[in-house]
Structure formats: structure tokens, C-alpha cells
Structure 1
Amino acid sequence: MKMKIANNVAPCRKEQRPLSFDATAIMKEKSKNAARSRREKENSEFLELAKLLPLPSAITSQLDKASVIRLTTSYLKMRQVFPDGLGDAWGAAPPPPQPRELSIRELGSHLLQTLDGFIFVVAPDGKIMYISETASVHLGLSQVELTGNSIYEYIHQADHEEMSAVLSLQHPHSYLGHQYPSLGYPVGGTWGPTVDVECERAFFIRMKCVLAKRNAGLTTSGYKVIHCSGYLRARRFGEATAPLGLIAVGHSLPPSAVTELKLHSNMFMFRASLDMRLIFLDAR
């Protein structure tokens, strides 16, 4: 007599034995050790990366990871604006020195010590690629805090349009200055000979100032008027031209309490009415 097996009977399965307490603890410990090892390697890499930044070791040793990434990105962008820095491009034969370049290199190391202002470089999108530490004297904001952030975060809302025009090649008062062969890469990815051009820029903007009132000078609602002068560098390749960045020097306006001002040989004095009609003009 044949026996029929019911269709609703499920096949037997071998029960899985639960892991013992010791095995679970070992797996957790291994996972914890692996995570600790990854963190240590990551911290070590960030520490080495911070050492490569062109900043004093006293500053780089205190940077968090986000700041290291922000400053490194800004430095790499600067390599596009100045591909050879203060020396020669990596792996390239040194070109014959130009008289203008020699004078710039000679004066560059002493510029910040004698300049009553600060130097800054701004990318076309408004990111501050570089700003000298002397900005803290005029604005109370540190070099590390400003570098890599957007300049629009630190200028008055009413000056945003002016800043955008300065960073554009279609500036109404743009003047084409020096042109010279470039050692940098084409911006648009098209290979071929490139030429760097410089367009002069001069403008006033209101920048955020956090200095104490007695040291801030002329400020209004936490903003300080800065006179900026410099040039917009652009790279021309073929028929296209793309901006690389604005290189400028910022000066604070002299306080209104100044009654005497020393006139240098390249300066003269004049007085004008509110409708800009000259009342007095120095004989110089």
C-alpha cells in the first residue's frame, strides 16, 4: 500500500545555531579595530596634506579636515592662474626670463612688509583663492578663514553686482593690458598655444570688518570701504577667452580725522564741489 505525502508539508530545514557570545564579541572587536585603523590612516593622510600647504606649521597643525580640503582646493586653483609660481613649471625647461618677471620676483618677497593693505586673488566664481594675512589688520578676519570661501559672503549685498562685473571680461571700463605666452593649460580643454592677457581693474567695495570700533577706522554697520586695484587675468586660446582670476590689492580709506597727509612725488591735491567742478588744483 502506497502512502501519499501531503502537499502542505514543508521540507525539513536545518536550524541555524545562534552565534555564541564569544564569537559575537570577537566580530565586534574586529570591526572596531578596522574602523580605528581607517581613522588613523585618514588622519595621517590629512596631516601630511596639511604639511604641504604654503602656511606656517603652527597654523597647519591646528586645521580641521574641512579646512585642509578647502585650502588645498584653493591652492590647486592658484596653480592654474600661476602655473609656474615663483619658479619654473613642473617638468618644463625654464623659459628665458622677462625683465618684468624679474622685477616682480625681486619685489615680491618684500611687498607684504611694505604694503599698507592686503593682496587677494579671486576666482571667476567669487571664491577667494588667496589672501594675505595682512587682511586681518584691516578686516579682523584671518587668512585661513577667508581662503576658499566666497568673497560675496564678506562684501555688502549692494556691492555684489559690482563685484560680478569686475570678475567679468565684459566690464564696461575694461582695459586690455599686458599679453604674453602662457605656460598654463587651456581652460576649455582645447589644446594649442595659449596667451595670458591682463585687464586693469580699480573699484571700491564694502567688506565685512570685525575689528573693535577704535581700531576699525571708517566703518558703517560692520562694513569697511576698501579701495581695490589690480587686474583680471584671462587666458586666450584660439578664438575663445576665459577669465582665470582677479589679482588685486586692497587699501583702507584714511580716517576722516586726518588733517595732514604727506604728498609723494606721484600725488597732487585738488578740491571740487559736489557737482565735481574743480575749485582748486595743485600746481603739480
Structure 2
Amino acid sequence: MSGTTKRRSSEKRKEKSRDAARNRRSQEAEIFSQLCNALPVPSNVQAQLDKSSVMRIAISHLKLAKIIEKANDEDEKTDHLWMKALEGFVIILSSDVDIIFVSESVAKYLGISQIDLIGQSLLEFLHPCDHDEIVDLLSHKTTNKKKSLFLRMKCTLTTKGRSVNLKSASYKVIRLSGEFKEFEMEETSDENKENNSQQYYIAVGEPIPHPSDIEIPLDGNTFLSKHNMDMTFTYCDERIEKLIGYDSENLEKESIYNYHHALDSENLEKCYKQLFSKGQVMTERYRFLARNGGYVWVITQATIIYNNRTHRPESVVCVHYVLSGVEEKNLILAGFQKEIKEDSMLKFFKPSTEDVFQPKSEINQEEMDMYMAPGMTNSMMADTAIDLTHLAPNAGDACIPLALPFAASPEPTTDENVKKAEDLFPSFKKEPDSFIACRGQDKPKSTGTTPVMSPGQPSPPTPEDYLTPFDPNDMDFMNTFFTDALPSNNNDTLEVRNIIFSLILG
């Protein structure tokens, strides 16, 4: 009897325990059902949530409600359409690297739904090499300071638009840019206010488009460039000539590092390090040096292209967005700008020797007559005619003195006096016979035939055209001037002076 009684009492206790557990489960399910219905998620999504997902989303929703409440107290009003206008998604991270909120548009860029991300740790969706970077960023309290970084997040979308399992997902570079906000989660005393405050990182995630996904044709203020792995140009779009002034062909084998403003070198160095470590990068606005001086503001998106067979980096493709026109046009910031500036100045100011000493051009018959002496023909001048306007002085030529010693009084001209004058002044040679007629002497005999003058052709100049009228007053003035200018006690100088004076008077 005793054994049967004990058995019955044990079964009753088990039955009561099962009933109590059933009641607890039913109550728990009812609570979770009510909690799920209170969540701001679509009804079709609610049916797919398990208890852990409901708890995860509910906790994140409570934290988000506190953030929104504090943000409204600061009078930060936003339009409900601003999130749709973003070319990315909004994300809020806690100091523990938990995702408090992410917008629905994240599925468009990563292929992961909003429900699967909210309340999860961001580290579960990041590349292992980027964990330290995001933890270091969120561990420092820097309120109201803007920070940006590049992270490789898991993406389940393929190039063909299909979706794969999360375990087979690849990584996509996302640029997070935002600022830190600090909120007090509960009303506490001033002593505990610092310990109760919570810091959040509110950012916008922007994917960097692959060059193959960029729509063609590009905007008028955008140009493409291709580089080797050392960032030397191998190709550049022709639009750069219109925007910045460079010839695309002249940029080949030139390094892009030479065309950055020196003040932007530090920021660009960090960007290029991110490029070679993560595969993609988008710079902040920086100054790109213009061809003729000055600079333009540019934002660059760079992507590493991998070989399909070896899967090794092969080249870098950059998309440059020009944000402004050329500023500080007269400012020279690099050596190549100075050289180009000097070359452009030479186009307007050529050396004078290029204009003066030009090749001799052919002249017509009328111009030739002006160079010929009376009685000479074209055949006679063919070998001796010199165009003095195109004759350059040569080194070692004799110098002709400008102050000529003239005689105080005329003396008869003799062969001995003429020879003495030629020895002292080699530049004074005997006058050619063809010009003796200019001084009134007999005209030399012509050996050639007299050319026949055609009607209407101007007559050649006569010897009388070369005569200069003589004024006695000029003679007295010249005599007085040269007598005072030269020493009179030198007999040789006085004798030569008289010879030259007699030659001039004929």
C-alpha cells in the first residue's frame, strides 16, 4: 500500500509541474506575442521572428526611442524623406560596437535585411582586419566630432544581382562618416550623470561604386584615369584638358602624387594606404594642381582592379569629380607649372634676334634698283649685293670711330697723303669708280649694253640725284668744331685731317 501511494503522489507532482510549465510557456508566448506586435516591423516579418530576435530588436528599439527623445529636445528637426534621398544607409552604433539602428536601405547595398542587423554586433559583419579600427574609434569619447573610416562589410549580393548565403558572402568597402553624440539615458544626480551618459556614433554608410557599374557617359565635371600600382598614369580621359588644362597624352608615365597640393599630402597619404589595404577608397575634397597655375577642388574614388586569372592587383581606376573652377590662377605651386608658364609667355614675347635676323627673302626688280649704284645692272650686282638689314655683326669686326678728325683748312690731295691716311684709318678706303660721279667727276665707261626702257617704267637715278648742296656756314662750323676737339700740335694728325677734308670737298 505504501508503495502504491508514493507512486500516485509522484505522478500528481509531475502532472502539476507539467501544467505549471505549460502555463509559463503559454504566458511567455503571450508576452512575446504582445511584444512582437508592439515592435515597429511589418506583420509578415513578425511571424518569422523568434524569441531571441524579438528581445534583440526590442532592446534596440528602447535605446533608439531614448536617442530620438533626446534629439528632439535639442530641436533637431528632420524630414521623413531625407533617408530615401541618401545614396547609402543610416547606422547608429553604441560604444560596445552594437548596431542600435540601421535603415531599410542597407539591404539594397549589402543584401542583408534590417532585421538581421539590428541589435547584432557589428564585428560579426566586418572583415577581421577591421575590428581593431572600429573598436578604437568607438572607445574614445569625442563628442560632436566628425569621424570617417572605411570598413569591409559582408555583402551577400553577387555581380549578377543574386543573393547568396551569409557564410558565402564577400566583402564590400563601405565608407562610414558621421559624428558622436552623447545622451543621458536616465534622470540621475549630478554625481552619477557622467557614469550614466551613453555615447553613440551616428553615421551614414556609403558604398564606393565599382567602375564597371558607373553610368556612361559621365558628367561634364567628371573624368576617368587609369594607373599602374605605383599610381603612374597609363590613361586619362580627354575631359581633363577642358577642366584642368592637361593634355591626356602628356600625363602618361607621370605620377599622380606630383599633382596634389602639398597641404593635402597627409590626408591623401592615409587614403592611398586605405586603398592598397582594402581595395577601394574615396577621398575628401582636395586640391588638384592646374596646368597653368592654381588648383581645382576634386573628390576621387579609386578602385583596384584584379586579374581574373591570377586574382592579383593589376591596376587602379580613379573617377575624379571636379567641384570648382581653377582658383588662384597666378599662383605657381609646382615646378612644371613654372615651366609651362614660361613657355606660354614666350609665345607672346619672342627673342628679338628671331625677328631681326631672318632669312633673306627675294626682292622684286623695283627693290633691286634701289640698292644698285648708277650704271650697274642686275648681273653685276648678283654676286655682290648684300641685304644690310639682315646682316648680323660678327665677332672680331673692325670698329669704326664715330668722331672723325677733319682738317682745319683744305690742302691739295697727293698719292702720298692718301696712302698715309689709309694706313692710319683702314676703314677709309678709296671710293669705287661707280660713285665718282656723285662728286661731279667724269662718269666711268660702261662695259655693258644699255638696257632698253619700257614705256611707263621709271627712269634710273642720275648722278645729280646723289649731290649734296654745300653751305659755307656749315664749313666754318665744322672747321671750328674739329679744331677744338683734336690737338693741333700733332703734325701727323693735322696732315691726315687735311687729307680727309680735301677728299670730302673733292
Contact 2:70–2:183 at 8 Å: present in 1 too? no
Aligned pairs for 1:73-152 within 5 A: 73-84=59-70, 98=75, 101-102=76-77, 104=78, 107=79, 109-152=80-123
SS in 2 for 1:167: helix
SS in 1 for 2:81: helix
- Alignment root-mean-square deviation, CA: 3.3
Change beyond 3 A, Cα 1:132–1:35: same
| C-alpha deviation, 1:21, in angstroms | 6.2
1:250 corresponds to:
205
| C-alpha deviation, 1:23, in angstroms | 5.3
| C-alpha deviation, 1:34, in angstroms | 2.2
2:138 is equivalent to residue 204 of structure 1: no
1:62 corresponds to:
48
Change beyond 3 A, Cα 1:75–1:33: same
Structure with more relative contact order (C-alpha pairs < 8 Å, separation 6 or more): 1
Contact 1:156–1:207 at 8 Å: present in 2 too? yes
Bigger strand share:
1
TM-score by length of 1: 0.66
Q: Quick one: which of 31, 38, 42 aligns to 2:17?
A: 31
Distance in 2 separating the partners of 1:20 and 1:158: 64
2:161 corresponds to:
215
Q: Can you give the 5+ residue segments of structure 2 that lack an aligned partner in the other structure? A: 163-168, 185-189, 222-242, 247-254, 261-287, 291-295, 297-321, 326-506
Contact 1:132–1:143 at 8 Å: present in 2 too? yes
Count of matched residue pairs: 222
Q: Quick one: which of 21, 36, 46 aligns to 1:50?
A: 36
TM-score by length of 2: 0.39
2:172 corresponds to:
224
| C-alpha deviation, 1:149, in angstroms | 1.0
| Amino acid corresponding to residue 202 of structure 2 in structure 1 | I
Change beyond 3 A, Cα 1:56–1:249: same
SS in 1 for 2:17: helix
SS in 1 for 2:84: helix
| Amino acid corresponding to residue 147 of structure 1 in structure 2 | I
| Amino acid corresponding to residue 222 of structure 1 in structure 2 | S
| C-alpha deviation, 1:161, in angstroms | 2.3
Identity across the alignment (%): 30
SS in 1 for 2:146: strand
CA deviations over 1:24-60 (Å, ceiling 9, x no partner): 5544433322221111111000111111212122212
Change beyond 3 A, Cα 1:115–1:23: same
Change beyond 3 A, Cα 1:252–1:260: farther
| C-alpha deviation, 1:213, in angstroms | 2.8
Distance in 2 separating the partners of 1:155 and 1:110: 29
SS in 2 for 1:215: coil
2:256 corresponds to:
273
Contact 1:208–1:224 at 8 Å: present in 2 too? yes
Contact 2:150–2:174 at 8 Å: present in 1 too? yes
